[in-house]
Amino acid sequence: MIRKRAIVTGTVQGVGFRWAAREQAQAIGVTGWARNRADGSVEVEVEGEPAAVDRMLAWLREGPPGSEVAGLDVTDTAPDGDDGFRIRQTA
């Protein structure tokens, strides 16, 4: 299991990005969370098998219809055993 933190920039708030990310994560089979940040970006943590995490990161680079992803900054973080994918409060 691996875990990645991604900061997604662009037009990613007010377009259903977090909700679509949760649906996509559930379909792929990864866990973690997503939340809006005060600077207009969305922060996402994704945990799972490496191939599944890579698929989720690829989806984050595109985003749902209505979004315009300008950038994706990804860093490694320690797995913490999430049991689902949640929407968190704004950071």
Please give the positions annotated as active site: 18, 36
Residue 33 CA to its chain's centroid (Å): 7
Radius of gyration, CA atoms only, the chain = 12
Residues with Cβ within 8 Å of 45's Cβ and at least 6 positions away in sequence, in order, are: 3, 4, 5, 6, 32, 33, 34, 77, 82
